Structure 1
Amino acid sequence: MPFTCMYSQQNLSAKEIVKKADDNMRGKTSEADITIKIIRPTWSREMNMKAWSKGDDYSMILITSPAKEKGTVFLKRTKEVWNWIPSIERTIKLPPSMMSQSWMGTDFTNDDLVKEASSVSDYNHNYLGKEIMFNKDCYKIEMIPKPSAAIVWEKVVVWIDATDFLQLKAEFYDEDGELVNIMNSSEVKEVGGRKITAKIVQL
């Protein structure tokens, strides 16, 4: 059974801190214009999209460029994820096994963008202490997927700003305990009365 530590002046559990960070980014509803840049030693690529969400259960992503992928749509409804592919005029339901695969040829997974998995309900949360990350006092929390969750990671470690409850860093570990992905978030902006990170870099 996971250890849950109660701490901080606000007396929040690790799960509650993760939920506050998740709520900060999602809000009740959200709309965003997103640019993804893929940079390699010999080439680079840019993709633009529009995204909408309503709580944890509903979200949609529409690719607006480049021309080859324009019109591609991803739709999430609770735990179901659908993909409209205009080139073949077909809608495909993505199985949980595909959520760990590359999203549109990027370093992100389908789950990173479409968020079938919930960082709140699909993980057990353990408080690891406080650390300074990017010159900010952060809660360090380990997230272990529940046995029932279709998640490929053995664990995820996140650093959440103790003041604004923004996730500033996340580390993703595979089943062998090897560090596979790192996501760093920056460029804090105030949107709709709440602060969010506007830039994510995956290493």
Structure 2
Amino acid sequence: MNTQKKTRQKILLLFTIGFLSVFSIHAQQPTAKEIVEKADNLLRGESSYAEMEMQIIRPSWSRTLRFNAWAKGDNYSLIYITFPQREKGQRFLKRSREMWNYVPAIDRMIKIPPSMMMQSWMGSDLTNDDLVNAASIVKDYDHKILRTETLRDRECYVIEMIPHEEAPVVWGKVITWISTKDYLNLRNEYYDEAHELVNEEILDEIEDVGDRTIPTRYTVIPANEEGHKTIMKFEKINFGANMEESFFSIQNMKQMR
């Protein structure tokens, strides 16, 4: 009788240990939304200032843009074109869900309507929406882990993001690759409403930039336009820059030099 009791106790103990181990593993496993949020916070931060270079590559020509960019959270961003000379001084402002373009040559402020958010930004393979992140990849999508796989020697979560019906989102679906160890966003695929691939985005040249390590080069490759490519590179980036919401005003944008 004692032997049977001891056996049952051992079985119960082993079962309990096994259950707790599985529970612990699942408790430590972040959700798809948490993974996306960690990656987004790493790239965005509470605020940032960046100096960037963009190369627009086509089969028969290419051109270079340079611009400075300020951002605060999800809701505010400001971009100032510094090169080439003919476009120097153009500014783009995002406040919440709204976007403006100031063209100094004609002293005109243009509010960009939602219908134009999918249009090319400055002739590149990025859209207005891509540049100012008018949609939030955390708040405006449902997230699902599809699998894990190795990408460029890093184990990654592969996560599907489907936009909410009411969200102001231009994509029908986004697939993202985020490293399991340090939450680096290494690749994205953007699909239209018919779930046909539109763009592939590759994030590489991972570097230390002060208090974090992030990809510093983004390459956007259209799916159906051979020889088209846009490369965007951080020349400098500072996170945690002190800036007030009033900095992201139409009045301040017009006064910048």
Which bracket does the TM-score occupy, shorter chain normalised? over 0.9
Which residue pairs with 2:49 in the alignment? 31
- Bigger radius of gyration among the two: 2
Distance 1:197 1:34 in 2: 13
> Where does 1:64-143 land on structure 2 (aligned, <5 Å)?
64-143=82-161
Distance 2:42 2:94 in 1: 19
Percent of matched pairs sharing the same residue = 51
Which residue pairs with 1:163 in the alignment? 181
C-alpha deviations, 1:20-71, integer Å up to 9, x for none? 1010011111111110001112111000000011111111111001112110
Aligned counterpart for 1:197 among listed residues 208, 215, 237? 215
Distance 1:8 1:95 in 2: 44
C-alpha deviations, 1:108-164, integer Å up to 9, x for none? 011111111111111111110101111210000001111111222110000001111
The secondary structure found in structure 2 opposite 1:103 is coil
Determine which structure has the larger strand proportion and give its number. Answer: 1
Retained in 2: the 8 A contact 1:100–1:151? Answer: no
Which residue pairs with 1:4 in the alignment? none
Distance 1:10 1:104 in 2: 44
Query: RMSD between aligned alpha carbons?
Result: 1.3
Which residue pairs with 2:60 in the alignment? 42
Distance 2:140 2:86 in 1: 34
List gaps (5 residues or longer) in structure 2: 1-24, 222-257
Change (3 A) 1:177 1:64: same
Determine which structure has the larger helix proportion and give its number. Answer: 2
Change (3 A) 1:73 1:141: same
List gaps (5 residues or longer) in structure 1: 1-6
Q: TM-score, normalised by structure 2?
A: 0.74
Aligned residues: 197
Retained in 2: the 8 A contact 1:102–1:110? Answer: yes
Distance 2:186 2:32 in 1: 16
Distance 1:8 1:182 in 2: 32
Retained in 2: the 8 A contact 1:97–1:150? Answer: no
**TM-superposed deviation, 1:8:** 6.5
Residue type at the aligned position of 1:100: M
Distance 1:136 1:75 in 2: 36
Residue type at the aligned position of 1:138: C
Which 4+ stretches in 1 moved above 6 angstroms?
Answer: none
The secondary structure found in structure 2 opposite 1:63 is strand
Distance 1:128 1:69 in 2: 43
Q: TM-score, normalised by structure 1?
A: 0.93
Distance 2:28 2:77 in 1: 31
